[in-house]
Amino acid sequence: MAQLPHRQAPHGIVPLPNHRMAFELFRRQTAPRADRRSVRLILPVLALSLSAALMLGLVAYVLWPSWPATTVAGAPSLPIVIADEVFNVPPEAIRTAVQRHAGRQERIDLAFLWPSLAPPDPAAKTAGDRLFVTIAAATALPPGERVAVIYPRYTSGEARQRPDGLSEFSFRDGTPYQGEDLVVDTAAPQRFAARCSRRTGPRTPGICLHDRRIGGADMSVRFPRDWLEEWRAVADGIDQLSERLVGPRSR
């Protein structure tokens, strides 16, 4: 049987053995073009996203609140609101930088020189005698009720009458106030009362805590127990400090 002559493909055309090879060739020729189009579409989107992120970061940096690490002597007082009570606080007296701003706060921690009641000098190299003050929203009974109702449940025996006009009660061991004494003005307990820890060594002096209710806030004042020898001057100083911070109406 005679064989048909083999037909040559026209010059420049590659013969394709089957449909699968034709599809593969088409895919290889068109895929790079599609990839290039996808890249051209994605690049502007990425650039816009990066620009938006940079702008948001810049805005956050500019608007994020910051507080000065140091203060300048004689700077104006800051109006600080705690429990809806406005306190006019000298910024030099604020102990932590994060609290050194006006507006509403949960609490503030202050320090004042004794006996001048002036804010500490930020440049001073020695600490000197200080009153430490914390003002926070009230969460317990008023101080007068604590002295009259709560503390007597935990004291032991009769009061010891001191020659300086104070009455001293010792808290029992096993109570929340063990290791402390309650000292009150014998003639007017509502004017001055303090819980004082006892000295346990030369490096651990006793510390007294005096609480005062101001509106919806409590002002807690800490001072060395040794100052009880001049407790009237301490009580007067706390009165003056209270007036400076919030005015005479809170006395």
Which pLDDT value is given to residue 63? 47
Which pLDDT value is given to residue 5? 52
Look up residue 104 and give its two tokens. Answer: 């509403």
| Residue 85 and residue 36 share a domain | no
Gyration radius from the chain CA atoms = 39
Which pLDDT value is given to residue 201? 83
Which pLDDT value is given to residue 17? 52
- On the question of a cis peptide bond just before residue 115, with omega within 30 degrees of 0, the verdict is yes
| Residue 223 and residue 183 share a domain | yes
| Residue 150 and residue 60 share a domain | no
Which pLDDT value is given to residue 251? 43
Look up residue 230 and give its two tokens. Answer: 């001049």
If one counts the domains in the chain, the total is 2
SS3 80: strand
Which pLDDT value is given to residue 64? 47
| Residue 137 and residue 112 share a domain | yes
φ/ψ of 51, rounded to 5, equals -65, -45
Which pLDDT value is given to residue 42? 73
Which pLDDT value is given to residue 61? 44
Instruction: Name the nearest CA neighbour of 108 among 133, 77, 138, 83.
Output: 133
| Residue 193 and residue 149 share a domain | yes
Domain containing residue 159 = 78-250
Which pLDDT value is given to residue 19? 55
State the pTM of this model: 0.71
Give the whole-angstrom CA distance, residue 217 versus residue 223: 20
Give the whole-angstrom CA distance, residue 203 versus residue 154: 28
Which pLDDT value is given to residue 115? 95
Please give the average pLDDT of every successive group of 10 residues along the chain, which has 251 residues. 51 53 58 56 71 64 49 81 97 95 97 95 76 96 95 93 96 96 95 95 91 96 96 97 80 43
Give the whole-angstrom CA distance, residue 206 versus residue 226: 8
Looking at 38, 64, 90, the residue that finishes a domain is: 64
Look up residue 225 and give its two tokens. Answer: 């127990």
| Residue 98 and residue 33 share a domain | no
Give the whole-angstrom CA distance, residue 49 versus residue 224: 60
Distance, C-alpha 9 to centroid of its chain: 86
| Residue 55 and residue 114 share a domain | no
| Residue 115 and residue 27 share a domain | no
Looking at 5, 37, 64, the residue that finishes a domain is: 64
